[in-house]
Amino acid sequence: MTPPARTRFAPSPTGYLHIGAARTALFAWLYARHTGGQFILRIEDTDRKRYVPDALEKIIDGLQWLGLDWDEGPDIGGPHAPYTQSERLPKYQEAADWLVAHGHAYRCYCTPDELAEMREKQQANKEKIGYDRRCRWLTPEERAAKEAEGRSWVVRLAVPTEGDITIDDLIRGPVTFNNAELQDAVLLKADGYPTYHLAVVVDDHDMAITHVIRGEEWISSAPLHVHLYRAFGWEMPLFAHTPSILKPSGKGKISKRDLQTPEGAVIPVMLHLYPEMGYLPEALFNFLSGIGWSLDDHTEIYDRETAIKHFDLKDINPGPARFPAEKLEWMNGVYIRMLSIDELVQRLIPYLSRDLGIPEEALARDQRLRIIAPAIQERLKKLTDAAPLIDFLYADEIDIGDPRLLTPRKTTPEQTVDILTGIIATLEQVESWDEETLETALRGLAQEKGLKAGQVFSPIRQAVTGKKVAPPLFATLVAVGRETSLRRLNDALNLLKRSVREQ
């Protein structure tokens, strides 16, 4: 049995949550749930210059929408609170002071101008660009002089300059770094705020994180973190660096711009845009879990309970994974078709309200939506597809536009006037306004007049919906209702008659 894992996701509110980061959060959540452990949410808000005011709210809302609940976090507390880094500053200051006192770090007094001059000389001499450790070797007297000048300082890690360091990554195996290639990274900035390197190690230790699961862009930072763990004498967590997600073409990593499928459809990169665009959380959960990991070699659709049961870090492919954009809409459509009609209606209401300008309360009471929902369910790839399909239900009048649109192929406008007249007369006589009765009556009319069914159905569809393509005709007529359908048909007939007279 795998022991319970404590994993975490630690987003920074310097921007909105990238879909790649959401996939990493999902993997961390799955592993915690698979092992019967805990998933912790921690907010890394120490980069105050790039702080985006509404980013944190959107990050939390997006994670909750995706169904990633946490056992400890800033909103619910826990035994290792606080879970927001800006509330933990004394811990980082204490840790930095300890490192300096024990020779594992040092104060660097270099000014921005001095660092810029250093880099210019390195560039001119074609040397490796990076901090040259000049403050690392200062004597106590030289440090005292810098302090007396009133210089501000940062704390840098004193990285070993010889030997190698190996990270045993759970996804990609041993990864070795040469210590001489590492920088003496800044741990504590002049404003008293920690950098990522110090804060992440202190926080992961304090919160008893057993598995650090993060994107592969952080793998180059891992040796610095291992050196910090060793300096403190702390037990080290296990590391797992998830593979990058590539563009749908497979060429390059996905950027913060919108993605496009080969067909030109737009796929958002930021998580908070997915619910706005009509994707289902259970579909996106299934989709994201399958980028870099798979249940088996043939199963595409599975629920979160199945994913929890089978997920393991060792089964993640270490290679970069393409974002299969063409699969996302297909998968979303599959999940839409799995909904009951009642659930589908409830999911559609917020989008229809937003896109058609109708209060949600009115839509919830309106039986027309419940009638038409089964007829459109098969056609929906996203919940936002519904509004343009059924907007005619809520229109006061139908704008047919060119009256010639009422005339079916191989039919004259004069013939169409006769057909519409017969349609209206037939529909006025039907006793029950249901799909079976309407279909029987209208097919009977076509047979009586020696017409093809399309010659009868096409002008009805155009008159009642104003669309060449609409939901199935008989479900549409039932949803629109007898009175409105007949009124629209009469309006269309009068429009066509005027057009014929004016020819």
What was the pLDDT predicted at 206? Answer: 98
Collapsing DSSP to helix, strand or coil, 155 comes out as strand
Tokens of 77: 């507390």
* pTM summary value: 0.92
**What are the beta bridge partners of residue 240?**
213
Would you write out the chain's pLDDT as a tens digit for each of its 503 residues? 689 999 999 999 999 999 999 999 999 999 999 999 999 999 999 888 888 999 999 999 999 999 999 999 999 999 999 999 999 999 999 999 999 999 999 999 999 999 999 999 999 998 889 999 999 999 999 999 999 999 999 999 999 999 999 999 999 999 999 999 999 999 999 999 999 999 999 999 999 999 999 999 999 999 999 999 999 999 999 999 999 999 888 888 887 666 766 666 677 899 999 999 999 999 999 999 999 999 999 999 999 999 999 999 999 999 999 999 889 999 999 999 999 999 999 999 999 999 999 999 999 999 999 999 999 999 999 999 999 999 999 999 999 889 999 999 889 999 999 999 999 999 999 999 999 999 999 999 999 999 999 999 999 999 999 998 899 999 999 999 999 999 999 999 999 999 988 87
Closest CA to 84 of 120, 35, 116, 48: 48
CB-based contacts of 82, cutoff 8 Å, min separation 6: 74, 88
- How much is the pLDDT for 265? 66
Q: Is 126 a catalytic residue?
A: no
Residue with tokens 């763990």: 229
Catalytic residue among 49, 126, 256, 410: 256
- 3-state SS assignment for residue 13: coil
* Structural contact between residues 254 and 19, judged by C-beta atoms closer than 8 angstroms: yes
Q: Centre a 10 Å sphere on the Cβ of residue 131 and count the other Cβ atoms it contains.
A: 18
**pLDDT for the residue 260:** 66
* Res 291: pLDDT: 96
The answer to whether the CB of 246 falls within 8 A of the CB of 321 is: yes
Please give the Cα distance from 213 to 226 (Å, whole number). 15
Q: Which pLDDT belongs to residue 326?
A: 86
Contact 74, 43 (CB under 8 A): yes
Q: At what angle do helices 89-101 and 196-206 cross, to 10 degrees?
A: 100
